[in-house]
Amino acid sequence: MDRRTFLAASLTAPLAAAEPRTERSLYAVCPGIRDYLEFGGAGILVFNIDDGHKFVKRISTDASRARKPRNIKGVVASPATKKLHFTTPETLYCVDLVSAKTEWSKKLPNGCDRLASPPDGKTLFVPSFEKDTWNVVDALSGKVLADIETKSGAHNTVCGLDGKRVYLAGLKSPWLFVADTQSYKIVDKVGPFAAAIRPFTVNGAQTLAFVNVNELLGFEIGDLKSGKKLHRIVVPGFKKGPVKRHGCPSHGIGMTPNEKEIWVVDAFNQRVHIFDATAMPPKYVQSIALREQPGWVTFSLDGKFAYPSTGEVIDTATKKIVATLADESGGPVHSEKMVEIHFRDGVPVTAGDQFGLGRVK
């Protein structure tokens, strides 16, 4: 090929397609601390993880446009369905992640609390508002398919990473119930723990559960295979005291994705405490002071950042606060209902979970 032919071919050849860029976002649904509007107002606040967690936009929803917005109880996102669902004490909402429009809202029997979904995103397991049952809901239509009865004061829900089991904890029971995600039947229970179960998490292999319980500054560990409680861990060197919310010393626990650490919150002392989970029982490592009383903690999917509900962004390697979430006016954003979502060419491709789940399978 001579030079002129080569240049002509070069000018007419199609440009190579650019590699699609993945955008990593943190979605915080507000009001995510009771119905307090001073911690970010109402709506879904989106932050750019790769740009110092800077504020990107606020998504208005049917819930945020209410004259008096209700407190958000839980959030789950699914790339498979391209939907985000969140709950208030009465209502389940569905938001399309591509258009950012609220598609529908449904009031469920006996209300709603912190929901969960298997990885395929087709089904939602939605606890009633501290009542006897969980509603099993079709994620696309909002139709109630079944209910699961535990009579435990339904409250928190975790789905295992393989999508086969869903873990159900209530405010009125020391037992962690385990249900099959296909039959919607209770197949096991774990415990009893020392008191009613509050926030909890599980490891990726679904062999261990790490649970907060009433009256304990620390956590307990349950064996998901034998159904027995294994350990009780008390945070050393700190005293319990009065708390503003939730009524228990530790309301928030998460496992780093690599399963090397357990982070547990402490409202009275305004700290998050870190334990080495490579030992069993886990060993206390250090504590980090926060700007308010925390009631939750979760992690980025890559494990580089910890997100307590008080809005700090903590580098998990250095244990330093590297950013604080702020809204479009610079006001502090706090939320116990946060989920990481990755987009490629405007389409969701990956999502995390509001709970700090272990991700080693």
d(CA 175, CA 86): 25
Name the pTM for this structure: 0.94
Length of the chain, in residues? 361
Decide if pLDDT at 201 tops 60.
yes
* String of DSSP letters for 30-77: ESBSTT-GGGT-SEEEEEEGGGTTEEEEEE--TTTTSSSPPPP-EEEE
pLDDT, tens only, 31-74? 999 999 999 999 999 999 999 999 999 999 999 999 999 999 99
Which H helix or E strand runs over 3?
Answer: helix 3-12
pLDDT score recorded for residue 7: 42
* Assigned CATH topology for domain 22-351: Methylamine Dehydrogenase; Chain H (2.130.10)
Helix (H, G, I), strand (E, B) or coil at 292: coil
pLDDT, tens only, 249-280? 999 999 999 999 999 999 999 999 999 999 99
| Confidence band for 19, pLDDT divided at 50, 70 and 90 | low
| Confidence band for 191, pLDDT divided at 50, 70 and 90 | very high
Decide if pLDDT at 338 tops 80.
yes
Percentage of the chain surpassing pLDDT 90?
Answer: 94
| Confidence band for 18, pLDDT divided at 50, 70 and 90 | low
pLDDT, tens only, 216-230? 999 999 999 999 999
pLDDT score recorded for residue 141: 98
| Confidence band for 6, pLDDT divided at 50, 70 and 90 | very low
Decide if pLDDT at 181 tops 90.
yes
3-class DSSP string for 80-108: CCCEEEEECCCEEEEEECCCCCEEEEEEC
Decide if pLDDT at 11 tops 60.
no
pLDDT, tens only, 156-168? 999 999 999 999 9
pLDDT score recorded for residue 21: 85
9 CB-contact burial (10 Å; exposed 0-12 / middle 13-18 / buried 19+): exposed
Evaluate whether 325 touches 311 at the Cβ level (below 8 Å).
Answer: yes
199-213 mean pLDDT: 98
| Confidence band for 337, pLDDT divided at 50, 70 and 90 | very high
Identify the CA nearest to 273 among candidates 221, 231, 233, 313: 233
pLDDT, tens only, 281-304? 999 999 999 999 999 999 999 999
Largest CA distance in the chain: 84
Evaluate whether 219 touches 210 at the Cβ level (below 8 Å).
Answer: yes
